[in-house]
Amino acid sequence: MRIQNPLQLAEGRILVEQLRLLLGHVNGLVVIACILFILMAWLLTNDNNQVQLWVWCAIAILSRLNLGAYARRNLATGLCPERGHRLVWTLIALQIADGVIMGALAWITLDSTSVAGSIMVIAVLSSSLGSAMSQLSPVLPVFIVKATVMLAMLSSKLWLMDNTNYKGLGIVGILYLISILMQGRDSASATRQAIELRFENLDLLEKLRIETDNAQAAHLKAELARQEAEDANAAKSKFLAAVSHDLRQPIHAQGLFLGALALTKLDAHQQEIMSNASAASKSSVEMLNTLLDFSRIEAGVIQPDYQSFCLQPLLNKIEREFVSQADAKGIVYRSRETSVAVYSDPMLVELILRNLVSNAIRYTERGGVLVACRKKGAEIVLEIWDTGVGIALVHQQAVFREFLQLSNPERDRQKGLGLGLAIVHSLARVLKLELSLSSRPGVGSVFRLSLPVAADISSVEETHFDDSGAQLKGMSVLVIEDDDIVRNGMRILVRDWGGNCDTAGSIEEALELAQRHAPDVVICDYRLREHRTGIQAIQALRDLLGDSFSVLLITGDTAPDRLREALASGIPLLHKPVLPNQLYQKIVEISKKR
């Protein structure tokens, strides 16, 4: 099979369209041509040419009928580039024959007709040639042969006649041939240009359709991919929320019992076991709280509370918290003294710093960790240096993705969940702070957080991170919790702190207890039985007692919608598992505000 190049294909397509136009014209004028032939025979017939003229009329009609039938047949069967040139040659042959027939009219009639008849013959042949130009010029060779044959026969007849005037008309016929051939050429060129323009428009429309289809397909594919990603993300969040809630309940209860046990008298061996159990519980709490921080960021419930604060108290607190971990690993932890004050959210900055310091200690085996500040224009750059494993340049963007740990293929739980830097990156974005990383493998890393300088340092009050609190002796606490183990642990712990504790498993039970003994503090789980919430329980107690008591919500939920709903309530909120000292401080805090 012969392969055609694009130019040949384009020419073939144009030729097919030219033939379609020509055949359509030929077929459309058959009836008119036949009527004209009969009319000419009737008007020009006389005793000298009667037989020849009617024979000519019959042959001319048959020729035109044959041309019409040929045109209809090819239009009906369809035209194709492969047959195009053969059709052209066939049409040339048919038009030569038709041209001879038309030219024969002059040879039959001019010798025996009147001057008026001669004028009519010449006029009919000339107008017929003009009509042929509009019909046949789409395929120029077909028109050329017909025009040449017709005018050659007419001019030769005129030239051979004895009358000088007729000889002059013969010369005029040659000039007319040249003129009409030039007109035919121009008409053919215009027709071709129109066809090419039409095909260009069709091609553009086809390309536009294809591009539109491709764009729609790409958009649909992207939409499906986005929907799949959103579904997967929603499923992941739902799974994490469910698993997190189910894990938080027993770990929360465990922490309460360990806190109560720590208040009892223990011998040295029991204290060692107690210390190890508390460390294990604290490790679990830290990992679950990391998941909580990540869920809070995803839920969009973190709203920065911007204020001016001094950095040094925060650095002191972080140093007190992590220096023992550094000492246990045999590395040095230091933070340089500073008097600077910055403008941001102190709690979120603390969370960022805690994650960065924890990460630095976790991946440093020798050397140490340094936390320092330096002023740079209108900003304070908080820097966390370490001499740890370092991060290759190709991985320095990837380390901020969630659940990614480059140096923990064995998934050692002591190295966390791989969310620390993701949380840092997200919180920096929430606070609109610049976070940067410089690192060399085997040398260490430095994370830099740029904080705006407080505008009016004289108005800055130091933010104290105080862990102390008042005793709860004599305080009446009502705990609403549907988990029996957690409820029992809360009762034991509050009583060991010196408070009076009533516990209820439902809203109705809580209302009954509150009627007998009005509480000073109500601690309520967020998710209760029968799809009821702690917010509903607190509202029911307020309807009964007014605002005479302090309230605290505790929840193990990390689902975004639950977090948003709890935040919107405006009620103080703690997330399970809650460490005993954290719970103690919160109870003291809310009771002071009552």
Per-residue pLDDT of 49-86, as tens digits, reads: 788 888 888 888 888 888 878 878 877 787 777 777 78
The tokens describing 47, both together, are: 């005793």
pLDDT range class, residue 509, cuts 50, 70, 90: very high
Element (DSSP H or E) covering residue 31: helix 30-44
| C-alpha dihedral (554, 555, 556, 561), degrees to nearest 10 | -160
Helices (H) and strands (E) in the chain, counts: 16, 12
pLDDT range class, residue 503, cuts 50, 70, 90: very high
Give the pLDDT confidence score for residue 524 in this predicted structure. Answer: 92
Give the pLDDT confidence score for residue 359 in this predicted structure. Answer: 84
What mean pLDDT comes out for the span 237-259? 64
Give the pLDDT confidence score for residue 408 in this predicted structure. Answer: 44
Distance CA 521, CA 501 (A): 10
What mean pLDDT comes out for the span 396-419? 52
Contacts of 330 (CB under 8 A, 6+ apart): 366
Beta strands in 53-211 (DSSP E): none
Indicate the average pLDDT of the chain.
78
Separation of CA 252 from chain center: 42
b/e per residue, 363-374, with b = 16+ CB within 10 A? bbeeebbbbbbe
Inform me whether the pLDDT recorded for 371 exceeds 90. yes
Inform me whether the pLDDT recorded for 402 exceeds 90. no
Contact of 422 with 294, CB cutoff 8 Å: yes
The tokens describing 304, both together, are: 């920065």
Element (DSSP H or E) covering residue 447: strand 444-452
Element (DSSP H or E) covering residue 449: strand 444-452
Distances (CA, A) of 489 to 27, 156, 513, 521, 591: 103, 127, 19, 17, 21
Picking from 354, 347, 344, 368, the residue whose alpha carbon sits closest to that of residue 424 is: 354
Inform me whether the pLDDT recorded for 44 exceeds 80. no
The tokens describing 11, both together, are: 């020419």
Give the pLDDT confidence score for residue 9 in this predicted structure. Answer: 65
What mean pLDDT comes out for the span 288-296? 59
Distance CA 476, CA 506 (A): 18
The tokens describing 199, both together, are: 């095909």
Contact of 356 with 345, CB cutoff 8 Å: no
Give the pLDDT confidence score for residue 416 in this predicted structure. Answer: 44
Give the pLDDT confidence score for residue 403 in this predicted structure. Answer: 46
- Give the residue carrying structure tokens 């035919």: 184
- Give the residue carrying structure tokens 């384009």: 10
Contact of 331 with 367, CB cutoff 8 Å: yes
> If DSSP codes are grouped into helix, strand and coil, which group holds residue 533?
strand
Element (DSSP H or E) covering residue 152: helix 140-160
> pLDDT: is 267 or 285 the higher one?
267
Give the pLDDT confidence score for residue 385 in this predicted structure. Answer: 93
Inform me whether the pLDDT recorded for 441 exceeds 70. yes
Contact of 521 with 539, CB cutoff 8 Å: no
> pLDDT: is 140 or 343 the higher one?
343
User: Counting every residue, how long is the chain?
Assistant: 594
Sequence spans of domains, the chain: 6-161, 302-459
Least confident of 57-71, 151-165, 260-274, 429-443: 260-274
Which CATH number describes the domain made up of 302-459? 3.30.565.10
Inform me whether the pLDDT recorded for 45 exceeds 60. yes
Least confident of 185-199, 223-237, 280-294, 420-434: 280-294
Give the pLDDT confidence score for residue 15 in this predicted structure. Answer: 77
Distance CA 89, CA 383 (A): 89
Contacts of 17 (CB under 8 A, 6+ apart): 195, 198, 199
The tokens describing 49, both together, are: 């040419």
Give the pLDDT confidence score for residue 411 in this predicted structure. Answer: 40
> pLDDT: is 466 or 230 the higher one?
230
Picking from 119, 139, 128, the residue whose alpha carbon sits closest to that of residue 37 is: 128
> pLDDT: is 194 or 533 the higher one?
533
Least confident of 64-73, 148-157, 286-295: 286-295
What mean pLDDT comes out for the span 222-230? 85
Give the pLDDT confidence score for residue 144 in this predicted structure. Answer: 85
Per-residue pLDDT reduced to its tens digit, 519-559: 999 999 888 888 888 889 999 999 988 888 889 988 877 66
> If DSSP codes are grouped into helix, strand and coil, which group holds residue 439?
strand
Per-residue pLDDT reduced to its tens digit, 158-168: 888 777 777 77
Give the pLDDT confidence score for residue 462 in this predicted structure. Answer: 46
Give the pLDDT confidence score for residue 452 in this predicted structure. Answer: 92
Give the pLDDT confidence score for residue 466 in this predicted structure. Answer: 41
What mean pLDDT comes out for the span 243-248? 60
Distance CA 343, CA 457 (A): 10
Contact of 535 with 553, CB cutoff 8 Å: yes
Inform me whether the pLDDT recorded for 356 exceeds 70. yes
Least confident of 180-194, 295-309, 511-525: 295-309
Contact of 138 with 184, CB cutoff 8 Å: no
- Give the residue carrying structure tokens 């060692």: 272
What mean pLDDT comes out for the span 92-102? 83
Element (DSSP H or E) covering residue 480: strand 476-480
What mean pLDDT comes out for the span 240-252? 62
Separation of CA 559 from chain center: 25
Give the pLDDT confidence score for residue 471 in this predicted structure. Answer: 63
What mean pLDDT comes out for the span 288-293? 58
Q: Where are the alpha helices (DSSP H) in 263-305?
A: 268-299
Give the pLDDT confidence score for residue 60 in this predicted structure. Answer: 84
Distance CA 74, CA 437 (A): 77
Distance CA 331, CA 421 (A): 22
**Maximum mean pLDDT: which of 116-130, 181-195, 354-368:** 354-368
Contact of 549 with 522, CB cutoff 8 Å: yes
